[in-house]
C-alpha cells in the first residue's frame, strides 16, 4: 500500500466497565511506583489514511475510522493522535506487519497478566504475537517501522509517558 499522508498511533479513553478497570489499574500502577497519577487511556489504534487497525474483541481488524467512531455516539470518548513521520521503507515494513496480523485473535488473558504485573513488577503472560491486545498491537507496529523498540507488553501508563517524550501529538 502506498504510504498515506497521515499515519498515527492513537490512544483512546472510554468509560465502559473494562475501561474503568484499566484506568484504576494504571492509577494503582503509578501510585505503587511513586509516579504522577494521570488520566489513563485504555485503548489504542494504528490510524493510516481514513482507516484504523486495532485489536478488539473480534481480534485484529482494519476498519474505517469514521465508522469506528460512530460506534461511540452518545458515549464519552477522547483520544490523542501521535503522528508518525515515516519514510517509504519504514511504512512498507510496518504495513506488512499490519497485513500479517490482520485477523489475529485477541489476547484476553493479558488483562489479568497486566493486573499481576501492577503488583509484582514481573510479566507472566505471553510474549509472542499469536494473540494480541490493543497496546501490544500498536507497539509491535511501531517496532516494525525499525525506528523504535519498545517492550510489546508496555502498559498504557508507561506507553503514554514514552509517547509524550518520543512522538509528536
Per-residue pLDDT of 24-57, as tens digits, reads: 999 999 999 999 999 999 999 999 999 999 999 9
Residue 1 lies in a domain: no
Please choose, from the candidates 156, 161, 164, 11, the residue with its C-alpha nearest in 3D space to the C-alpha of residue 77.
11
Count of structural domains, the chain: 1
Beta-bridge partner residues of 131: 105
Per-residue pLDDT of 72-89, as tens digits, reads: 988 999 999 999 999 999
- The confidence band for 1, taking pLDDT boundaries of 50, 70 and 90, is confident
Residue 2 lies in a domain: no
Task: Examine the pLDDT at 158 and tell me if it is beyond 90.
Answer: yes
Residue 33 lies in a domain: yes
Which CATH number fits the domain that encloses residue 79? 3.90.1720.10
Range of the domain at 16: 7-166
Secondary structure (DSSP) of 71-136? TTTTS--EEEEEE----HHHHHHHHHHHHHHTTPEE-THHHHHHHHHHHHS---S--SSSEE-HHH
Residue 155 lies in a domain: yes
Residue 119 lies in a domain: yes
Per-residue pLDDT of 128-155, as tens digits, reads: 899 999 999 999 999 999 999 999 999 9
Contacts of 158 by beta carbon, 8 Å cutoff, 6+ apart: none
Cα 137-115-122 angle, rounded to 5 deg: 85
Amino acid at each position: 500500500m502506498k504510504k498515506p499522508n497521515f499515519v498515527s498511533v492513537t490512544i483512546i479513553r472510554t468509560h465502559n466497565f473494562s475501561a474503568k478497570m484499566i484506568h484504576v489499574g494504571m492509577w494503582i500502577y503509578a501510585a505503587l511506583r511513586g509516579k504522577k497519577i494521570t488520566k489513563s487511556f485504555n485503548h489504542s489504534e494504528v490510524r493510516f489514511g481514513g482507516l484504523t487497525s486495532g485489536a478488539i474483541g473480534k481480534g485484529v481488524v482494519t476498519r474505517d475510522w469514521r465508522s469506528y467512531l460512530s460506534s461511540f455516539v452518545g458515549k464519552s470518548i477522547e483520544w490523542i493522535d501521535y503522528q508518525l513521520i515515516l519514510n517509504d521503507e519504514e511504512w512498507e515494513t510496518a504495513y506488512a506487519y499490519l497485513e500479517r496480523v490482520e485477523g489475529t485473535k485477541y489476547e484476553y488473558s493479558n488483562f489479568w497478566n497486566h493486573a499481576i504485573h501492577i503488583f509484582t513488577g514481573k510479566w507472566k503472560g505471553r510474549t509472542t504475537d499469536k494473540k494480541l491486545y490493543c497496546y501490544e498491537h500498536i507497539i509491535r507496529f511501531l517496532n516494525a517501522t525499525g525506528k523504535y523498540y519498545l517492550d510489546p507488553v508496555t502498559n498504557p501508563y508507561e506507553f503514554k509517558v514514552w509517547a509524550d517524550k518520543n512522538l509528536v501529538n
